[in-house]
């Protein structure tokens, strides 16, 4: 199941026993409120230029007095992008308070004289300082936003309908009428739909109201952030939702819970159909954010929208404004894994201080699930405390310091070249891996065509009958850790044709995930070592597990790489594409050209790679010195 939609707020699950305890959960998560670091810092005499500087930077809901500066940032993508545009000497002498929806949400206190490091305090902390009082300048309470974006869903793999797609457009209006409130309404316009109407979604082909809600956030002093929502939600649900969240340890830990009381509603041409709100859903969970990378690990459990109980674990990694999340759900007796990608939508710097704004959505999400069964689905539409507090935590400020330096005009360092990717969808040569990997935030996506003679297929069909079309993506997820996702199509191979002669699936599609750890990084004339597994998750038709050694070198302007490795059968698989010893040599007489020769445990190959600029790369290879394979890729540093 592949879904394309505006990035949803993170919502999830809860066990029925926990559901009964949710009304008291806000009190249970109070925890001993210890004084946070920097809570006793004393503000200095405020420079007089800070207030106009905040307004000039495009900030809103601005208030300043001797205690500090309070503001709302709807212009920039991160709090540090805004702080970096304030006078440096002022930031070091005053407390900064960030508001969301006009509600004071967090305080940033610079550590002594270091104006690039901050401690974070919340109104739920015991020693939260008093925010500046007075009339707010550039108020958002009279600002009306019109937001438009697509709602797209895909489902692949059905015997009778290999590809189903639904495309809709959503037009949304939002206003912040008072502190902590958001009044929003939307209309959904269907454009194209392959899905049939169902009892759960009988109005998918109708122009209908989308999400229409009134949200209210409020801090319970020294306790938690509470939220309440009433209105129409996604998935033909309406009703009310309540939640409470408590950030601890400067936001490194977030306890979050939600309970929803909803009923069914549909807007058909013959009238509105609804049921009384009697369905109870919700979740309870904990999120941990480590201080060394912009990432989080979240565990949740509860009851989902369609009545299934279960649990979810999610790992989220952010690279600037791009997000990638891996999740696993156990619900309704099924195990579902998947990945979500969040792409920022321009303009990255948004207009502010205007009574009316017309904007596209901020982020667009692409999600892939291994099972399209509607289990593990959260109620989408209610207020999300996690989204409200996004980036207002110590780890986020610590790992995004580059934004502050960038906003203050710090020079950029020259980036290093991004390694080339092999046909396996991981850094390497033609079919063999390299001893290094992608650097953090480096990625490449691309396509490769493998000729019939050397392509793999399935269902008992051997080589020489069908070609392979490989679509891949490779990413440096963590230091010395590279991951890869690959889809391999076999056009012409009629999947399940022997089971269902009427099957419309005219191609076989295989998916796989790969991972590699660099034990010792290869440097100029210094060998490196890496361990990797290709197709560690999938059908293991294209599996390889290996150890590889490699040495790069540069003589004058000529760069070269040499690798030698061994692929074992440590994991059971239906096919081992690398089986035994392999090796490769690459020589780059010019920076944009690479020539390669390799032995891939089965045959000798020769290849050529050319950089065209703007991240585009062409590749060509003669497999076994006779069969042409070609492809194209695009690399980028997030």
Instruction: Report the distance separating Cα 424 and Cα 538, nearest Å.
Output: 14
**pLDDT tens figures, 564-612:** 999 999 999 989 999 999 999 999 988 899 999 999 999 999 999 999 9
pLDDT reading at 11 higher than 50: no
Predicted local distance difference test score (pLDDT) of residue 117: 87
Instruction: Report the distance separating Cα 389 and Cα 100, nearest Å.
Output: 9
pLDDT reading at 48 higher than 90: no
pLDDT reading at 514 higher than 60: yes
CATH C-level class of 442-637: mainly beta
Predicted local distance difference test score (pLDDT) of residue 233: 97
More confident residue, 32 or 414: 414
pLDDT reading at 497 higher than 60: no
More confident residue, 3 or 69: 69
Give, for 107, the enclosing helix (H) or strand (E). Answer: strand 103-111
The sign of the CA dihedral 465, 494, 166, 365 is negative
**pLDDT tens figures, 370-396:** 888 889 999 999 999 999 999 999 999
pLDDT reading at 153 higher than 80: yes
Q: What is the pTM of this model?
A: 0.87
Mean pLDDT within 297-303: 97
Predicted local distance difference test score (pLDDT) of residue 46: 46
Mean pLDDT within 241-268: 97
Mean pLDDT within 63-76: 92
Instruction: Write down the mean pLDDT value for the chain.
Output: 88
Predicted local distance difference test score (pLDDT) of residue 413: 76
In order of 151, 152, 193, 471, the CA distances from 189 in angstroms are 10, 12, 11, 32
Predicted local distance difference test score (pLDDT) of residue 544: 96
More confident residue, 541 or 47: 541
Predicted local distance difference test score (pLDDT) of residue 570: 93
Instruction: Give phi and psi for 224, each to the nearest 5.
Output: -170, 170
Instruction: Report the distance separating Cα 527 and Cα 289, nearest Å.
Output: 34
> 505: pLDDT confidence band, cut at 50, 70 and 90?
low
Q: Give yes or no for a contact between 572 and 587, defined as CB atoms under 8 angstroms apart.
A: no
Instruction: Report the distance separating Cα 14 and Cα 309, nearest Å.
Output: 7
Predicted local distance difference test score (pLDDT) of residue 30: 37
Instruction: Report the distance separating Cα 146 and Cα 360, nearest Å.
Output: 8
Mean pLDDT within 458-462: 68
pLDDT reading at 341 higher than 90: yes
pLDDT reading at 5 higher than 50: no
Instruction: Report the distance separating Cα 117 and Cα 313, nearest Å.
Output: 31
Q: What is the dihedral of CA 113, 114, 119, 120, to 10 degrees?
A: 100
Mean pLDDT within 96-105: 97
Mean pLDDT within 109-123: 85
Predicted local distance difference test score (pLDDT) of residue 486: 94
Query: Would you state the structure tokens that stand for residue 421, as one six-digit string?
Result: 């990717």
pLDDT reading at 533 higher than 80: yes
Mean pLDDT within 339-347: 94
Predicted local distance difference test score (pLDDT) of residue 492: 81
**pLDDT tens figures, 359-368:** 999 999 989 8
Predicted local distance difference test score (pLDDT) of residue 597: 97
pLDDT reading at 434 higher than 80: yes
Predicted local distance difference test score (pLDDT) of residue 47: 46
- Long-range CB pairs of 575-583 (<8 Å, 24+ gap) are 575/456, 575/540, 575/541, 575/542, 575/543, 576/543, 576/544, 577/424, 577/431, 577/456, 577/534, 577/542, 577/543, 577/544, 578/431, 578/432, 578/534, 578/544, 578/546, 579/544, 582/432, 582/546, 583/432
**pLDDT tens figures, 611-633:** 999 999 999 999 999 999 999 99
**Chain centroid to CA 8:** 11
- Each domain of the chain, given as residue ranges in start order, spans 2-29+141-407, 442-637
pLDDT reading at 204 higher than 70: yes
More confident residue, 345 or 36: 345
* DSSP tag of 76: S
Predicted local distance difference test score (pLDDT) of residue 463: 81
> 43: pLDDT confidence band, cut at 50, 70 and 90?
very low
Predicted local distance difference test score (pLDDT) of residue 495: 64
Strands 237-248 and 224-233: antiparallel
pLDDT reading at 225 higher than 50: yes
Predicted local distance difference test score (pLDDT) of residue 159: 54
Predicted local distance difference test score (pLDDT) of residue 199: 86
pLDDT reading at 50 higher than 90: no
50: helix, coil or strand?
helix
Q: What is the residue whose two structure tokens read 């445990």? A: 601
């Amino acid at each position: 199941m592949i879904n394309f939609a505006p990035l949803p707020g993170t919502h999830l699950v809860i066990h029925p026993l926990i559901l009964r305890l949710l009304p008291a959960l806000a009190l249970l998560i109070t925890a001993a409120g210890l004084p946070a670091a920097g809570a006793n810092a004393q503000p200095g005499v405020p420079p007089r230029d800070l207030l106009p500087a905040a307004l000039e930077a495009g900030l809103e809901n601005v208030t300043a007095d001797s205690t500090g500066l309070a503001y709302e940032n709807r212009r920039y993508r991160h709090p540090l992008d805004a702080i970096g545009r304030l006078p440096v000497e002022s930031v070091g002498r005053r407390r900064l308070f960030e508001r969301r929806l006009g509600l004071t949400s967090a305080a940033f206190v610079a550590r002594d004289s270091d104006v690039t490091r901050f401690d974070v305090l919340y109104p739920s902390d015991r020693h939260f300082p008093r925010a500046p009082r007075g009339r707010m300048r550039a108020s958002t309470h009279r600002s009306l936003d019109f937001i438009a974006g697509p709602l797209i869903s895909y489902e692949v793999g059905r015997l009778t309908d290999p590809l189903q797609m639904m495309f809709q457009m959503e037009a949304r209006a939002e206003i912040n009428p008072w502190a902590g409130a958001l009044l929003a309404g939307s209309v959904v316009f269907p454009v194209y739909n392959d899905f049939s109407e169902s009892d759960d979604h009988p109005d998918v082909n109708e122009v209908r109201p989308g999400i229409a809600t009134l949200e209210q956030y409020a801090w319970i002093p020294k306790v938690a952030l509470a939220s309440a929502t009433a209105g129409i939600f996604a998935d033909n649900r309406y009703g009310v939702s309540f939640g409470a969240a408590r950030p601890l340890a400067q936001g490194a830990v977030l306890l979050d819970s939600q309970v929803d009381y909803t009923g069914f509603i549909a807007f058909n041409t013959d009238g509105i159909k609804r049921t009384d709100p009697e369905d109870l859903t919700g979740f309870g969970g904990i999120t941990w954010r480590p201080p060394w990378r912009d990432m989080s690990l979240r565990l949740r459990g509860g009851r989902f929208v369609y009545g299934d109980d279960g649990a979810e674990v999610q790992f989220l990694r952010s690279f600037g404004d791009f997000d990638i999340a891996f999740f696993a759900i156990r619900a309704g007796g099924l195990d579902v894994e998947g990945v979500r990608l969040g792409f920022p939508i321009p303009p990255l710097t948004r207009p502010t201080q205007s009574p009316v704004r017309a904007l596209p959505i901020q982020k667009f999400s692409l999600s892939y699930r291994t099972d399209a069964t509607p289990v593990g689905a959260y109620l989408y539409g209610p207020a999300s405390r996690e989204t409200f507090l996004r980036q207002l935590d110590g780890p986020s400020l610590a790992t995004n310091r580059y934004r502050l330096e960038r906003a203050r005009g710090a020079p950029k360092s020259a980036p290093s070249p991004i390694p080339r990717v092999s046909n396996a969808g991981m850094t390497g040569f033609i079919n063999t891996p390299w001893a290094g990997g992608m650097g953090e935030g480096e990625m490449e996506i691309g396509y490769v065509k493998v000729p019939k003679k050397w392509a793999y297929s399935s269902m008992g069909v051997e080589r020489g009958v069908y070609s392979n079309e490989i679509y891949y993506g490779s990413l440096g997820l963590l230091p010395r850790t590279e991951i890869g996702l690959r889809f391999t199509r076999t056009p012409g191979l009629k999947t399940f044709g022997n089971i269902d002669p009427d099957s419309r699936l005219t191609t076989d599609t295989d998916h796989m995930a790969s991972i590699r750890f660099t034990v010792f990084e290869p440097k100029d004339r210094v060998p490196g070592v890496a361990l990797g597994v290709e197709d560690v998750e999938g059908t293991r038709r294209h599996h390889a597990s290996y150890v590889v050694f490699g040495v790069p070198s540069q003589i004058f302007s000529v760069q070269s790489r040499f690798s030698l490795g061994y692929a074992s059968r440590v994991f059971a698989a239906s096919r081992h594409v690398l089986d035994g010893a392999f090796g490769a040599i690459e020589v780059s007489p010019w920076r944009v050209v690479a020539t390669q020769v390799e032995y891939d445990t089965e045959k000798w190959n020769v290849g050529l790679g050319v950089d065209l600029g703007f991240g585009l790369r062409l590749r060509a290879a003669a497999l076994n010195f006779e069969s042409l394979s070609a492809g194209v890729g695009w690399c980028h540093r997030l």
